[in-house]
Structure 1
Amino acid sequence: MSFHTIRQAPARLNRSELAVPGSQPQLFEKAAKSDVDVIFLDLEDAVAPDEKDQARRNVITALNDLDWGAKTMSIRINGLDTHYMYRDVVDVVEACERLDLIMLPKVGTAADVYAVDMLVTQIEDAKGRSKRIGFEHIIETALGMQNVSEIAGASPRNESLHFGVADYAASTRARTTIIGGVNPDYAVLTDPLGDGTRAEHWGDMWHYALARMVVAARANGLRPIDGPFGDFQDPDGYRAAARRAAVLGCEGKWAIHPSQVALANEVMSPSAAEVDKANRILAAMAEAEAAGKGAVSLDGRLIDYASIRQAEVLVEKAKQIAA
């Protein structure tokens, strides 16, 4: 292992993250009663310009008056290139001690993070707050992806990186109009087979971007979260996208519709069989250590100290969910 120690972000359950427009307060109570892990009340893309001020007031009232239970509460502020952003931060942070996180959209450089960090720190100091608000960053531009490592390490407030596939596609001028999912044009055509036919295999056009973001997140102790899947009438497509993200290392996915919350929780939770195997690995390695061994066989496969680290992650996640 490197001598450098990675500081881990606070251990929040982040399997599902529900987007709720700040301009639609009639949706707040339903969201509060859902099984979602994290809610972000949106002041950015889901809110029209002439509704920004009212949406901000709606969010302040909701954070102070509604019972959100043990859910982690976040707001997505407007971009640093708008005149709405500073009021989003100042008004909401000053008024709402219940706020846990701030989501920064279209983060492009580490300086963007520094700017918001400075503002939030001044507010917390002025208010005498002991609770420190964390940051979520959406990587959704070519600039943000280029600088993702610097962004991930830009502030001790950082907790998670999110892949914003729609704006990322627009920023990179990808030839697609869908939000997440696969594209039939991103495919490999095999050479002719024995009977002269050729097979076509679809690929995941977002694989590199998501994997790149996961590396930056994990190298800085942050949670990598996959972003939206636009077709909320396609649960199978959502599950497939979430599974791909989970395999790459993501521990959560957005829900842009309440029906997607249960899907995210399902895919991003370790199965009972996985948790059982992880516990058996830990037990087997404990026996091996007692016998002075550094590796042991379990179910016909070699397990060693790397296996312990993998198993511990699964067991810890199961404990978080149970709690």
Structure 2
Amino acid sequence: MSQHVVPARLNRSQLAVPGSSPRFIEKAATSAADVVFLDLEDAVAPPDKEAARRTVIAAARDVDWGDKTLSVRINALDTPFMYRDLIEVAEGAGERLDLILVPKVNSAADVHLLDVLLTQIEAAVGRRKRFGLELQIETAEGLVNAEAIARASPRVESLHFGPGDFAASVGARTTSIGGAVPDYSMLGEPDVNGLRALYMGDPWHYVLARIVVACRAAGVRPIDGPYADFKDPLGLEWSARRAAALGFDGKWAIHPTQIEALNEAFSPRPDEVERAHRILAALAEAETAGRGAVVLDGKMIDAASIRQAQMMVEKARRVGGA
């Protein structure tokens, strides 16, 4: 199957904002986040959801969002709030709203439903551009179907890992959201003094790897979920570096203080960009000289290295660091 062709959006940092708070919404519009999503789900208590819906619609229409990507997270399909969220937001938010973020997506059928409804809404209101979909993988069923979900509609732009709900779905013994799980560890062999080192593992590595592969195969963006302890900048940094190393494009920020670290973690480092340019320059020189082999710093450069360099330079260009 062919990949989707999705809009090229920076998605290094995605700031979550309660949809019930005009003050926080206005602050988010001036933040350095690449993407802002106005939340109608977890951040809003059930009695306040109807009012928050109106607040979000007004904010999408009236607030100056500059060049940010704007998204709204609706409630999950298995809740009584979903259909009003989708219909009222899609009909009323205007052309400035780019994406709809949907939690707890379990199957391609969920995406098909969203696609049909949005297509009819767009036709009814005369919308000029198509809504994109951001889909959260937060359950065991959703992960099993991640590949099909990523390919379910041309509207799909990204899959997002939801660590808290996923942990609950699989019965993991943790209350951490995005942080370490100390019990997921192994003891090393005793040293000469009988002491044994404790090596912590990453309980979410399989989940993250499966999501990133599903996304890259479908041509959509993989986005990591939140790191809940916003007073732990070092933990956030390494959580983001782990995700970036695996191939994720970005990560959620649940507090504005996390944005800068995420933008940095998911942007190419200057030394990476410099080496990528050197690889491409060495390739050009070899082609001009009629040489088939490319050597840089005493090492052979193969086709995979060249593709990696091209991707690095393109990403740096998009973030203004080329």
TM over 0.5: yes
RMSD: 1.3
Q: Deviations over 1:40-75 (max 9, x none)?
A: 000111111110110000001111111000000000
Q: Please name the residue that 1:284 is paired with.
A: 282
* 190-199 or 267-276, which deviates more: 190-199
Q: Distance in 2 between matches of 1:306 and 1:84?
A: 47
Q: Does 1:45 align with 2:33?
A: no
Q: Please name the residue that 1:256 is paired with.
A: 254
Q: Deviations over 1:248-268 (max 9, x none)?
A: 110100000010111100111
Q: Percent identity?
A: 61
Q: Please name the residue that 1:222 is paired with.
A: 220
Q: Does 1:56 align with 2:50?
A: no
Paired positions, count? 320
Q: Distance in 2 between matches of 1:5 and 1:170?
A: 34
Deviation >6 Å, runs of 4+: none
Q: Does 1:31 align with 2:28?
A: yes
Q: Deviations over 1:121-154 (max 9, x none)?
A: 1011122222111110100101100111110110
Q: Please name the residue that 2:300 is paired with.
A: 302
| Cα pair 1:108 1:144 within 8 Å, conserved | yes
Q: Please name the residue that 1:116 is paired with.
A: 114
Deviation of 1:295 after TM superposition, in Å, equals 3.5
State which of 237, 242, 245 in structure 1 corresponds to 2:240: 242
| Cα pair 1:8 1:220 within 8 Å, conserved | no
AA aligned opposite 1:175: R
Superposition pairs for residues 123-138 of structure 1, below 5 Å? 123-138=121-136
Q: Distance in 1 between matches of 2:182 and 2:82?
A: 38
Q: Please name the residue that 1:77 is paired with.
A: 74
How does the TM-score come out when normalised to structure 1? 0.96
Deviation of 1:203 after TM superposition, in Å, equals 1.2
| Cα pair 2:95 2:128 within 8 Å, conserved | no
Q: Distance in 2 between matches of 1:50 and 1:126?
A: 29
Q: Please name the residue that 2:156 is paired with.
A: 158
Deviation of 1:239 after TM superposition, in Å, equals 0.3
AA aligned opposite 1:186: Y
Q: Deviations over 1:263-310 (max 9, x none)?
A: 100111111111111111111112223334444121232212211111
Deviation of 1:196 after TM superposition, in Å, equals 2.8
Deviation of 1:5 after TM superposition, in Å, equals 4.5
| Cα pair 1:229 1:255 within 8 Å, conserved | yes
AA aligned opposite 1:155: S
AA aligned opposite 1:75: V
Q: Deviations over 1:171-203 (max 9, x none)?
A: 011000011111211112112234432221111
| Cα pair 2:160 2:223 within 8 Å, conserved | yes
Q: Distance in 1 between matches of 2:187 and 2:72?
A: 44
Question: Where does structure 2 lack aligned partners over 5 or more consecutive residues?
Answer: none
Q: Please name the residue that 1:140 is paired with.
A: 138
| Cα pair 1:285 1:304 within 8 Å, conserved | no
How does the TM-score come out when normalised to structure 2? 0.96
| Cα pair 1:295 1:305 within 8 Å, conserved | no
* 296-305 or 238-247, which deviates more: 296-305
Question: Where does structure 1 lack aligned partners over 5 or more consecutive residues?
Answer: none
* 279-288 or 152-161, which deviates more: 279-288
